[in-house]
Amino acid sequence: MHTVALVVYPQFQALSLSVGSVFECANLLHGEPVYRFTLVSETGGAVLSSQGFSVNTEALGLAGYDTIIVSGYLELGEPSPELLTCLSSTSSQSRRIASLCTGVFVLAEAGLLEGKRVTTHWLHVPEFKKRHPTVRIDDDRLFVVDGQIWTGAGMSAGVDLALAMVESDLGPDLARRVARKLVIAQRRGAEQSQLSALLEIDPKSDRVQLAMAYARENLRSDLSVEALADVARLSPRQFSRVFREETGKTPAKAVESLRIEAARVMMETSRHPVEVIARETGFGDRERMRQAFLRAYGKPPQLMRDELYKTANGAG
């Protein structure tokens, strides 16, 4: 059985606890227990979260945990020397060492990240670079896996990180079933950007939000100004004006951003040919998708797919 230990400390972020649901569902859907999930802390006992409630923990010892996940915290304080020493000691007995959000600072202070590629929440990247200039950090990845070290960007990315662990241990089919059980609309892979296209567009009114939600769910459909205006129950002229006022973009550019994001996810999570991805995400043909990727990333889809493949397999 895989023992997964979530390390918490005073003022840890409560959302860190959500990773436990992934392993719980994996046990349920697998038909027999595969994971034992436990909360651990430096000395054991009650630990106060940032939201004011306490959780009971076991003492972090040399128990030989299969996976250790270090939770995040709101204030970038200094972890205790005792916690760092304990983490450093137990890491040699563990198959995986992971961090959620600012937990990467704890791993770095414990001396576990030298020569590794990591990530954390984009907001904390400048501070991390200042404190740990020799560690390679990627400021726009949902999570990064480099050998034994797994690091996640934000608290919600912890669920994506845990799903990736389940997929690594038990296969993609079970990971997909766990995601469905948890009502996760879209499984996000390691190379996905921390900021989604829909968040970047950031519509304000209910009508524009409704139109963008429709667009995201119907990328293969006609998403012209006229079609989206009809969803929003506005005239095309009104819709275009309101859309630009709220988002600073034209509807066409916003739809292109959604299609690019969906195409990139498909490239990372499937082996479909570029022609199929272009069709499924609404570009229609390979050349239109190529031009959109050149505008967004300065490189064509095939080159990006090759780079994603190399990253996923530890090259480059």
Segments making up each domain of the chain, as ranges: 2-181, 197-312
2-181 and 197-312 share one fold: no
What is the Cα Rg of the chain in Å? 21
One-letter amino acid for residue 9 of the chain: Y
Q: pLDDT band for position 314 (50/70/90)?
A: very low
Percentage of residues in the chain having pLDDT higher than 90: 48
Q: pLDDT band for position 315 (50/70/90)?
A: very low
Angle, helices 251-269/286-297, rounded to nearest 10 degrees: 100
- Judge whether residue 1 has pLDDT over 90: no
Residue recorded with tokens 């270090």 = 70
pLDDT at 234: 93
pLDDT tens digits for 184-222? 755 555 445 544 555 567 778 888 889 988 888 899 999
CA distance 81 to 79: 6
Stretch among 63-67, 98-102, 224-228 having the lowest mean pLDDT = 63-67
pLDDT tens digits for 231-271? 999 999 999 999 999 888 899 999 998 898 888 878 876 77
pLDDT tens digits for 275-293? 999 999 999 999 999 999 9
pLDDT at 197: 58
CA distance 163 to 297: 27
- Judge whether residue 176 has pLDDT over 50: yes
CA distance 67 to 153: 18
| List of residues 6+ apart from 72 with CB closer than 8 A | 12, 13, 15, 16, 99, 100, 101, 102, 103, 121, 154, 155
pLDDT at 194: 47
Domain spanning 2-181, CATH class: alpha beta
Q: Which residue has the higher pLDDT, 305 or 118?
A: 118
Mean pLDDT computed over every residue of the chain: 86
- Identify the CATH assignment for 197-312 out of 3.40.190.10, 1.10.10.60, 1.10.3720.10, 1.20.58.110: 1.10.10.60
pLDDT tens digits for 46-99? 999 988 999 999 998 766 799 999 998 877 667 888 889 888 888 888 999 999
pLDDT at 46: 96
CA distance 100 to 40: 15
